[in-house]
Amino acid sequence: MSTIWYGLKQGVKSIFQNKIFSLAAIGTITACLFLLGVFYVLFSNFQHMVHNAESTVAIVVFFEESLSQDRIDEIGRQIQACHPVEKVEFVSGGEAWERFKQEMLGSDQELIDTFGSDNPLAASASYEVYLNDVSKQAEMVEYIRGLSGVRKVNGSANTADSFSSFNMLIGYVSISIIALLLLVSIFLISSAVAMGINVRKDEIAIMKLIGATDLFVRLPFLVEGVTMGLIGAGIPLGILRLMYGQVIVFIRAHFANLTEWLTFVEAEKEFQVLVPLCLGVGIGIGLLGSATSVRKHLQV
């Protein structure tokens, strides 16, 4: 217990003794994790918006004429049982005609009246199949085409490919930038801890001569790194939490015509992931930076 208490006290003390390097390291971690949080929030919200957009991209399945309702229902169950399928909606001929009138004929009542009571889409009942992973659309289209009783399958291959490519691009860019920022933070923490080692090298040498264990010598520097990591993680989390709701309100107020597409992840759900992520990365950076520096500069 005395070893742990000594390590905690000396680790915190070292931060104040090397204010410039400590502030530089904490500032870098703060900037790094703030950008990490910003990229994570942007990435998760982009994914959320893309997923919502994907959910509007449907595979439309038409049946052979005079196919029995029992067989149509069986086709629906077969499609629903497939893993990438999120939901299957049946659209009757009457519903198809009503949609066509709203989308294509609009308010042109005179044109609508020319059809009278006839429904030219009476035999156009269909299933609209929505996937939870739009990249699987081509596979699903091929599978559905092979089902008995299916006359035609309409998909949106180009749209599906565009969504998949966009998601991949965001992922690669975010990972590259975050990795670079983490490396810079680790380097600065290593520098701060190394300065602490140089300042206390005589004290360390004496401790080793009187039989101090490796843990006893290393612990203060590990505590120093972890403390800087925790401080560097707490600051950006607080800033991001304050900004998140305000930014969403601002966007919704100034881009009201895009509210159908600009759907955001709830703050509570966002920070359920972001808080442990930032704290874990902050502690990890601190430990790694300290351990690296101690290994390079101490002969224990």
Are both 216 and 132 inside the same structural domain?
Answer: no
Q: Residue 104 above 70 pLDDT?
A: no
Nearest to 225 by CA among 1, 2, 8: 8
Phi, psi of 240, deg, nearest 5: -65, -40
**Rounded CA separation 146/128 (Å):** 17
Query: Could you list the residue range(s) of the whole structural domain that residue 79 is in?
Result: 58-155
| Tens-place pLDDT, residues 192-239 | 656 655 665 666 666 667 766 666 667 777 777 788 888 888 999 999
Considering its fold, how many domains does the chain have in total? 2
pLDDT of residue 163: 67
Domain boundary among 131, 155, 179: 155
* One domain, residues 205 and 115: no
Mean pLDDT for the chain overall: 76
Q: How confident is the model at residue 277 (pLDDT cuts 50, 70, 90)?
A: confident
* 43 lies in the same domain as 172: yes
Burial of 287 (0-12, 13-18, 19+ CB in 10 A): middle
pLDDT for the residue numbered 300: 47
pLDDT score for 160: 65
Q: Cβ neighbours of residue 273 under 8 Å, at least 6 residues apart?
A: 40, 44
Are residue 171 and residue 220 in the same domain, yes or no?
yes
Indicate the angle between helix axes 214-254 and 157-199, nearest 10 degrees: 140
User: Is 115 in a helix, a strand, or coil?
Assistant: coil
pLDDT, one tens digit per residue, over 144-174 is 888 888 888 887 766 666 666 776 777 777 7
| pLDDT tens digits for range 35-74 | 878 888 887 887 777 777 666 778 888 888 888 888 989 9
- Better pLDDT: 259 or 297: 259
Alpha helix segments (H runs only) across 200-213: 201-209
Give the mean pLDDT of 76-103: 82
Note whether 180 and 282 are same-domain residues: yes
Q: State the pLDDT at residue 239.
A: 92
The model's pLDDT over 105-145, given as tens digits with 9 standing for 90+, comes to 665 566 556 666 666 666 778 888 888 877 788 888 889 88
pLDDT confidence bin for 297, thresholds 50/70/90: low
- Same domain for 190 and 278? yes
Where a domain ends, among 107, 130, 155? 155
Instruction: Looking at the structure, tell me whether residues 117 and 179 fall in a common domain.
Output: no
Residue 254 CB contacts under 8 Å (≥ 6 apart), including other chains? none
29 and 77 in a single domain? The answer is: no
- Together in a domain, 118 and 189: no
Strand partners, 58: 130
- Of 100, 129, 155, the last residue of a domain is 155
Q: Residue 75: give its domain's CATH number.
A: 3.30.70.3040
* Same domain assignment for residues 291 and 165: yes
44 and 82 both lie in a single domain = no
Do both 250 and 266 map to the same domain?
Answer: yes
